[in-house]
Amino acid sequence: MIDADAGSGEFNRLGAMIADLTSAASLVEAKAVLRQIDIAAIGAVPDAELVELLDELWAHFSTVDLPASPLRPHLDLVASAWLRITYREARAVAALAKADLLDASIANARVAFEHSIYLSLISDARDYLAILDALEHRLVTGWTEALHKISEPEAQLLLPLLSNMDEDLDVPAEMRWVRRFDKICAKLATGDVVYEHYRLLSNALHAGLGSASPYILSSMMGDGRSVVPDLMVARVGLGAAVHACVWAGWSIDELFGVELFADAVAKAANRLECTRLTRIVD
């Protein structure tokens, strides 16, 4: 424990910081919020069982041979890639959990979570081309902004090519919402809950008090030398990885019109009380 008598000023400063951490956007508040929302069923499932579910999901995924449609190769290729990303990142979460490095798996969990949400978005393929064009436009815009800051001639030669790509995409203003993840979540039922979980994982990744707080809290409550952080957010990530595999499986089944994953994800879906991320009618 930190010795208050050894430096009362420093102890008080840390105490004030901990008080800030346990205010409106704190881990303590987050725990209370998580208990109130559907996806919080994660918290009721032991870590070992979540890892076992991920192992079972991966075992099935490894046997799946995805079909391809000549009518929409762009969509099928992207969807297949996002499915692979989701399951491989979730597999990494399970591997890190087994190595007692669950706290190091939050980034993998967030990647899986995000890609499964994009899959849910395009699984209703009414406007999938517009969505994919908007995502490509976001990529082109990012590269353009980066290259404008580079003075090398080789970099400048790429700018006209990117400009032509931007013009070819011709993304309408009403599709610019695809550039923002919060807007994407808003297009899905229970998307507000999903986005709050995404933010919780994100706050634990970026340098700041959000990433430091699990270690600060464990040090305050331990001997001050522990390298094992509070794992509340990491456990959310573990459960989110299972959700991601379920959502991705459902989305692929819907996209391809065949039941490749329905039976395989049913156990995890029931155990974690997963609900489908259906599109909200505009």
65 vs 39, higher pLDDT: 65
Q: Is the pLDDT of residue 50 over 90?
A: yes
Gap between the Cα atoms of 83 and 77, Å rounded: 10
Structure confidence by residue, pLDDT tens digits, 196-216:
888 889 888 888 877 887 777
Mean pLDDT of the chain: 76
Structure confidence at residue 140 as a pLDDT band (50, 70, 90)? low
Give the confidence band of 122 by pLDDT, cuts at 50, 70, 90. Answer: confident
Query: Tokens representing 19?
Result: 């008080």
Q: Quick check: 245 and 57 in contact, CB under 8 A?
A: yes
Question: Cα(48)–Cα(268) distance, rounded to whole angstroms?
Answer: 13
In whole angstroms, give the CA distance from residue 255 to residue 269. Answer: 19
Maximal C-alpha separation, the chain: 73
E-state strands within 52-109: none
pTM: 0.75
- The pLDDT of 253-265, averaged and rounded, is 92
Q: What is the DSSP letter of 188?
A: B
